[in-house]
Amino acid sequence: MLSTKRVRNGQSTLRYVTKALVPGTYRVTVYCGKSGKGSARLKVGDATPATTPVPDPIVPPTSSPQPPLPPLPPPASQAATCSVAESGGRYRPTDRVAAAGIRLSNTSTGKDATWIEVTANFWSGDTIVATENRYLERIPAGQSLFVGFDSVYVDRPITKLSSFATCKSEPAGAARQVVGGTATAVPTVLDDIDVQGQFTNTYPFTLSSLAAIDYVTRGSDGKINGGGFTFTSSRVPVGATMGWQIHNPAFSPTELPASIEFTVEPEPA
């Protein structure tokens, strides 16, 4: 609605009061009876006070990034093993004697195999006709040890060899590398062979006089076909060199092994 005021100096001031209009520009016409009419543009503004836009607050993420995980601890060393990695044997019918060789392997990288018991069964057909046992001190972590059996007298042909071993597991000891090497076969006047070799004690301790020297024989195909053992028979100081020899009746001078390997049991004095 328009509210009027008194006319002063031929002019009148009008005020338009409403809440119905939205902000914008309008044409307004005023009728003054006999005096005529007049028009003007009326600009209607927003009655809401202008405000300065406020930027949205930065809302932090609901969860902060996780710190990197710590590295996993190294796996505990696996228990020691004394598995049969290779084995083989032979039978000499003229003397009714058998021999066998085994390579035991300890695949653990941090544990020694100790209290080792090895069993070899000699079969004739479906029957075990001879069983031999050996006891060894230790196989260092990650190393192999040979086990030999010679002079096994049986009254029937040997057709098969089976073997197994049991052991305990202990933290790795002072010995890290098994002492060993190669040996040679020498024919004898008894129509068989002697096996001869030598070694230097590189263990960090004096060897016991009961430390076993075990060897395996191999055929031209590289497979184990026999073996045997002896003892040092005396203490061997660190750095000392010792020769050894053992008789093997399972071979004839015309059936020499293609190669011979041996290891020395790490048994301290």
* pLDDT (tens digit per residue) in 153-166: 999 999 999 999 99
Domains: count for the chain: 2
The pLDDT of residue 10: 56
Number of other CB atoms surrounding residue 212 within 10 Å: 21
Query: Do 243 and 180 share a structural domain?
Result: yes
pLDDT at 47: 55
188 within some domain: yes
Residue 16: per-residue pLDDT: 56
CB count in 10 Å sphere of residue 205: 16
Same domain, 32 and 138: no
| 255 found inside a domain | yes
Contact 262, 181 (CB under 8 A): yes
Neighbours of 228 (CB within 10 A): 28
Q: Which structural domain, as residue segments, surrounds residue 106?
A: 83-264
Residue 248 inside a domain? The answer is yes
Low-confidence stretches of the chain (pLDDT beneath 50): 59
Q: What is the pLDDT of residue 174?
A: 87
